[in-house]
Structure 1
Amino acid sequence: MEKIIHLRYNSTDKKFQLSIPLKLNFQNVEIDEDIETECSASETIGLLLERTKDEIKNKIHHKSKEIGSEVKIENDDIEIYLRRKRKEGYKIIPDYVKILSMMSQDHSTSRLTIFDQEFGVCVNAPKIMHLSIPPVLYAPYSIRYARIGGLNIKAPLCKFKWYRSKDKIDWEEVGEGVSYPIKLDDIGYFLKMKCFPFSSKGIEGSPAEVVSEGVVVELTKIPQCPFHFRHTHTKITLSGQSYRVVSYNALSSLYNREEDFSYCPDEFMVMNYRKQLILREILGYNADIVCLQEIDLFEYQEFFQQELENEGYLTKFYRKGFYLGDGLMCAVRKSRFKLKAYEQIVFCNAIRSKEIFQNLYDILKTDKKLFKRFSLQSTSLQVFEIKCKDKRILLIGNTQMSHRPDNDDTRLIHAYMTIRYLNSLKQRLLNMNETFKVNIVLCGDFNSLPNSAVYKFICDGKVEPEDYLKVGDRLLNLQHNMRFVSACGSPKYTVYTPSFKNCIDYVFIEEDTEVEQVVPFLEEEVEKHEGLPNDLYPSDHLALVVDIKFKD
C-alpha cells in the first residue's frame, strides 16, 4: 500500500498542516512516527519543506541521544522535494510556489520524496482529533459517539464499527453504524468504537478508535425523585375545557460540558440515565401538550418518539436552525387534539423570506454588526396548530432563545418576531373560521429574567424607554397589541446550577384563558442540592406544569 502524506487547511487558526508518516533508519537511528509541520497561506513550498527538514533533524537528534549515540546531521543532509506529474514526466515543484495555490489543484499524481522514500499526496483529507463515547455505558440502551471533531470531517458520512472485549486485548466485532444497541449480554464487557472519517467531498481519512472507560453495567432502579411528589398533583387527566401543558428544557448532551457540571457524577450525567428520568417525569404529569427544548436528534429518533407515541402522543421534532444536533419537540395527546399543521421558522431566515418581517429586515440590515450577529444565530420557533373537539384551535409555540448575556437585543428581536408571527397565524385562522375561537400558548426557555425587556414585551406589549432596541443611531420602540400572562408566574427557580439560579422559562397564555393549577416547583427540595442535574433531577432546568382552562 502506498504511503500517503496529508496536507490540510485548518480554518480555525488559518494554517496549513503537513503530516508525514515517516519510518526510516539513519545511521542506526530508527524513526517511526508522524512528522508534523505547518505554515500560513502566504508562505511557500520551500519554507514548508525547510521546516520539515528541521523537524526530521530534531527527531533524529532526540532519538540518537536516547540510545547514547551522537549523530551529526544538518538540513542539507536531508533530501526532500515535491514532484508533480506533467505531460513530459515528473517535475519538481519550485520552492517559490505558494502553499495556497496548491490547495485547489489535483494532486492525485503528486509525490513527495524523503531520502529514498516516496509518498503520495492527499489534500484536505479528514483527520480525527477528538473522539469519545459516553463515560458510563448502560444496558439495554443504544449509544453513539459523544463527540467527534477534527479537520474536514463530515460526521453524517463517517462509518463506524463496534467491538467488545473482556480484557481490552481480544476484540469481537458486534455491530456497524453510528449507534450500537447495547444488549444485556454485553454487561461486563468493554466497548470499542472505530470511526472511519470522510470529508464532504467523500475523501476518506485514517480511522481512529476509542475504548470505554469501564465495562457495560445494567441501569440501576430509578430512585424516588422529587418529581414523584409533583405527580401527586397530576394524577387525573383533564377533560372538557381544561388542558395541561408541560414545558421543559431537557439539557442536551451536546451542552453537558464537564466544567459546567463537575458536581454531577458521570453515571447520572450520561443521557441513558437522564432520559429514563425525563420520560418518567413527563408521563407522570399526564399532560395534553408537551414542549421540550434541547432534545438530541439521536435521542428523539431512538427513544422519545416511540416511547411517547406508545403513550398516545403525536410528536414532531425540528433541529434548531434545521442543522444543529439538538432541537425542539412538541407532543400532543391524540385522544384530545387533532394536529392540523406544524412548522418551524428559523428567525435569521424568516426575516428575509416572510413578508410580515420586511420592514424589520429593512431596518436591521442598516446596522451591519447587529444584523451579522442576528444572522449567525440558530434561534427557531416551532409552531403547532391543533384543533380541539369543540370549535377551538390552539396555536402552540415552542422556542429556546440565546443564552449569551450580550444578546439582550437579539432576544428582544426574536420575541417581537415570535408574537408577530403567531398573531398573524391567529388572524388568518379567525378569518378562515369565523365561528372558531383561537388561543395562543407560547412555551420555552427564553433565557430572560422576569424584569427583562423580553418578559415585559410579551406580557405588557411594550418595553421601557431604556430597553428600546438600538439599531445603529435609531431607537426602536417595539410593541404589540396582544396581552399575555405567565401562566406559572415568576417562580424562584426554573434553572438551578452553582453559577446561575433563576427564572428564565415560561408558559405564556392569552388573558382570555385562565390558570386552574400550577404544579408546585418544590424549591425547598431543589435547594438541598449543590446544583442540577444529579441522580434525582435529570436536567439543570425544572419542568413547568400548568393546568389551563378556556373561558366561555
Structure 2
Amino acid sequence: MALEEDQDSKTSQWEVSVTLSSNQPVIGTEIITTETKLVNSYHTIGAPPPPHSFVYTWYRHSIPCSVHRHKLATVQCTSCAKLNASIEKSYHCSSKCFSDAWNKHKKYHHWAANAARNNSTGNQQDVKKLRSSGSWPNLIDGSVLDENAIMVEEDNIWIKVGSSNTYVPTLYDCDFRLRLHSAAVDSSLGTRLSPDNIVVTDPVIKPSHPPRKMIRLQNTLNLNFNAQSSNDVVFSVLSYNILADSLSINAFGYCPKWALAWEYRQENLLEEIIKYDADILCLQEVQCDHFENFFEPELKKLGYSVMYKKKTGAGLFTAESEKSTNHGCATFYHSKLFKEIMKYELEFDKEASSVVNALEPRIRFKGSHRLTSKANTHIHWSKGHEDVTLFQVSAYSSFLHSDGVEEQWRKMNSQTSEPAFTFFSDKFFGTLDYIFYTDNSLIVESLLELVDRESIDNNGIPSPAWPSDHIALMASFRLRPPSHWGLSPPPFPLNPWHLVALN
C-alpha cells in the first residue's frame, strides 16, 4: 500500500510538456514532436526527475455505430451519402447490423429526400463519406483491432494508429482528428512518472497543389480586330492525361503507395477537373471501369455529355497488352453549349497499316511510329522519336507572342515554343501534352498557367498533391468573326479530328 501511495505521489509530481511541429495534419506530411520535456507539476524547484524516457501513442478519431454506440462504424449506407443525409444515422458497425436495422432505417431515406428537396437552393450539410462506402472494405487499414487498440469515451471512439514520437497521416486519417498521448517512464523501474499529456489536432486534410489560374492574353498579333462583342462565342478546352490505375502500379517508387491508390487519386482528379469548369474535357488514359463507374456518372451530374473510345491493340493477348489497352480517351462536353453531330471512331494503327506494310523493312518500325502517331487523342511519344512531336503542333506557344505574361515565359521552352514540361517523373521530364486549334477560325483568349519544378516535388509526380504524372492544360478560345476567315470558312466537321461542334 505504501508503495502504491509513493508511486502516486511520483506520478502527480511530474507532467509532460509536448510541442508538435504543426497542429494541422496533412496527409503524407510527418508530424514531429519538436520538444518533449518533463516538468515539475507544482512549478517548484526541487530534485531533478530520475532518468526517464517518453512513450507515445497516436489515435485517430472515428465514428461510432448509429445503433451500437460503443462500437466502431465500419460501413456506411450509400443511399444516405447520396441523399446528403445526416451522418448520425448512416453508420453501422457491421453488415449484419445494417441489415438488421434496414426496415427501420429505410424510412429515414424518405425524410432525408424531402429535406434535400426543401434545401435544394440553400446550403446543404457537408456529409463525411467513409471510405468503406464504395470499394473500400473498412476504416481500419485492413487490420484486425484488439480491445487495447480502441479507446471509447462516451460517443467518441479513438483507434490506435502509432506509437512513436512522429506520425505520418495516411488516406485513412483524412477528415479525422488525431490525438497524441505522451507520458514519462522511469528508466530503471519501468513505472510511469507522469499522467498522460493529451494533444488533439485539427482534422487531417489532403495536400493540395497551388491553385492554377487562367492567364488572359494580350496578343499583339490580334490588335487589329474589331472590338469584341457580347455575342462572341467563347469556350474552353481542358486536356488532361489522368494516369490509368493499371499503369501506375509499381511504376512510381518515389510516390507513397497510399497516394497512388485509385480511391485517393480519383477524388483529387475529379476535384481538380471540376474546379477548372471547362466546356470541353479531353481526358486520356481513362480506365474503362473507372469511366463507367466514376467519371461518366459524376460528370453527367454537372451537365456533361460524353464520348468514349477504348484503346485497341494488336498481336497476341498478354497480361501486359491488356494493361496497356484497358483505357481510352473520354471527351466530355457541356450539353447546353454543344451537341453531337457526328461521331467517328478512328484507329490510327488500322488506318496506317497499309502504308506501313508497304515501307521497306529497314524503315518499317520507325515509319509505323510516324504514321500512327496521332479532337482528343493519346499521342505517341518515345525517346528516339522526338521528331514525331514536330507533327503535333501546340496552343501554349501563344504565351510567347503575348505581352504581360513574363512570368509564364520562364516556364516555356523558347526553342520549341512549348511548355518546359507537362510530364515529370524521376526518369524524364518534358512536354508530351498539347492543345490543337485552327488558327484561321479561333483566337486563343487565355491559357491555364504553367507550373515550374519548384512547385512540384523534386522527385516527380504523381505525389500526394498531384494525382497524375501529367499536368492539365487548358485554353479558352474565341470564335473569329466570318470576316476574318480568309478565303474560305472553316471546314464543316466531316473529319475525325472534330468530335464536337457548336450548337
For Structure 1 versus Structure 2, the TM-score category normalised by the shorter chain is 0.3 to 0.5
Greater fraction of residues in strand: 1
Which has the higher relative contact order, 1 or 2, with Cα contacts under 8 A spaced 6 or more apart? 2
